[in-house]
Amino acid sequence: MRNSLLALLLAAPLATGLASAVQAQTAAPAQPQAQDLAYPTKPVTILVGFPPGTATDTVARMLAERLAQRMGQQFIVENKPGAGGSIAAGLGARAKPDGYTLMIGASAPQAINPHVYRNLNYDARTDFAPIGLITWLPYLFVVNPDNPAHNLKQFLAAAKAKPDQLTYATTGIGTTSHLVTSVLLSKAGATMVHVPYKGSSQAQTDIVGGRTTATFDTMVSSLAMVKSGRLKALAVSTPERVAMLPDVPTVAEQGYPGFDMGAWLGLIAPAGIPPAIQTRLSREMNTVLADAAVRDKLADLGAQVRTTATPADFGVMMKNEYESWGNVVREFNVKATD
């Protein structure tokens, strides 16, 4: 029974992302372009709930640069890390809904944290206006290059032989990194000590330094260190191998069929943003993401471009993700400690 539930939980987050991607490709053409707006007439701020160097920050800065080129005003990324992205989400929810404060929505603050933290100062279901899906982020399971395990199966066997002696780093309690690892360990019947960090950089640095054993983090944040040989990748979370690391097998290949997990990033705004601005931003963002150079650059970083045709489509996906990740949080009884 537990295995069948886990299979459902594993499939749900990716399934909703895939449904959105297919919808974007097959839906009727987007609504006719609205009349050109006097927007933006001043710089636009994009709030990011994670530190510089994380996947969310990297994607946000690339998008900000391209939107600035297209729309003739600066798009400024402001990092407000903490509480798994919820600090930035709270600030964004209270911002004036005039189109000059936007946020990078993500699996953690929009779909996971509301089920983990008791006292969030925002409602993920009502306080935000969807603009559009940006990317899907595969996760890499990485260890120190000196770790004797040559693959995930060997690593998990060692973890099972030493219950609660090995450690795994994440980007915080209740983050996608935490939940993806929880699902993997549950399926393997292994237990490790969780060490939460505020971001990817310090977590990976501590693995290199031998202070933490492993992490399951986004490919965007870990790819450079894997390519430089400072980290060793044992598995990728997607159902198929990724082009950037063709020699790294999937989790599914290594004894866990059906394992298919990751995270999404999208652009959102405070609820109440004028619909014309919401539509304009969606159209401009999708134009940016349709550019082959942008898609190639994101692919090189380890992100998979996926878009939604309209803000309403993205809103449906966000609702589904909220429900799917809530099931995972309840299954593993994940709660914040403060």
Whether pLDDT at 263 is above 70: yes
Confidence of residue 33 (pLDDT cuts 50, 70, 90): very low
Whether pLDDT at 51 is above 80: yes
pLDDT in tens, 124-151: 999 999 999 999 999 999 999 999 999 9
Number of Cβ atoms within 10 Å of the Cβ of 250: 20
pLDDT at 7: 43
Whether residue 21 lies inside any domain: the answer is no
Q: Hunting for tokens 């990976």 — which residue is that?
A: 204
Calpha distance 256→264 (Å, rounded): 22
The amino acid that residue 17 corresponds to is G
pTM: 0.79
Whether residue 19 lies inside any domain: the answer is no
Structural domains counted in the chain = 2
Check whether residue 91 and residue 163 sit in a common domain.
no
The residue segments making up the domain with residue 163 are: 138-254
Q: Which among 262, 267, 280 is positioned nearest to 219, based on CA atoms?
A: 262
More confident residue, 133 or 5: 133
State which of 187, 219, 254 marks the end of a domain.
254
The pairing of strands 44-48 and 193-196 is unpaired
Q: Which among 111, 109, 139 is positioned nearest to 239, based on CA atoms?
A: 139
SS3 85: helix
Please provide residue 106's backbone torsions phi and psi, each rounded to the nearest 5 degrees: -150, 165
Calpha distance 133→91 (Å, rounded): 21
pLDDT in tens, 8-23: 344 444 444 444 443 4
pLDDT in tens, 272-287: 999 999 999 999 999 9
Let me know how long the chain is. Answer: 338
Contacts of 308 (CB under 8 A, 6+ apart): 20, 23, 24, 132, 133, 266, 314, 317
Check whether residue 130 and residue 176 sit in a common domain.
no
C-alpha distance across the termini of the chain, in Å: 32
CATH code for the domain of 59: 3.40.190.150
Check whether residue 285 and residue 224 sit in a common domain.
no
What's the token pair of residue 56?
């969310």
225-249 mean pLDDT: 94
75-83 mean pLDDT: 93
Check whether residue 180 and residue 93 sit in a common domain.
no
Whether residue 206 lies inside any domain: the answer is yes
State which of 238, 254, 270 marks the end of a domain.
254
SS3 28: coil
CB-CB contact of 67 with 37 (8 Å):
no
Confidence of residue 36 (pLDDT cuts 50, 70, 90): low
Whether residue 20 lies inside any domain: the answer is no
pLDDT at 105: 96
Check whether residue 122 and residue 163 sit in a common domain.
no
Number of Cβ atoms within 10 Å of the Cβ of 144: 17
Calpha distance 34→137 (Å, rounded): 31
Q: Which residues pair with 305 in a beta bridge?
A: 135
CB-CB contact of 58 with 301 (8 Å):
yes
Q: What Cα–Cα distance (Å) separates residue 268 from each residue in 94, 163, 251, 277, 329?
A: 13, 41, 31, 12, 23
Check whether residue 268 and residue 132 sit in a common domain.
yes
Per DSSP, which regions of the chain are E strands?
44-48, 75-79, 101-106, 128-137, 139-143, 167-170, 193-196, 214-218, 232-236, 263-270, 304-305
What's the token pair of residue 62?
């690339």
Q: Which residues pair with 101 in a beta bridge?
A: 45
Check whether residue 266 and residue 132 sit in a common domain.
yes
Whether residue 23 lies inside any domain: the answer is no
Q: Which residues pair with 44 in a beta bridge?
A: 75
State which of 254, 288, 310 marks the end of a domain.
254
CB-CB contact of 98 with 214 (8 Å):
no
CB-CB contact of 187 with 6 (8 Å):
yes
Q: Hunting for tokens 């601005």 — which residue is that?
A: 277
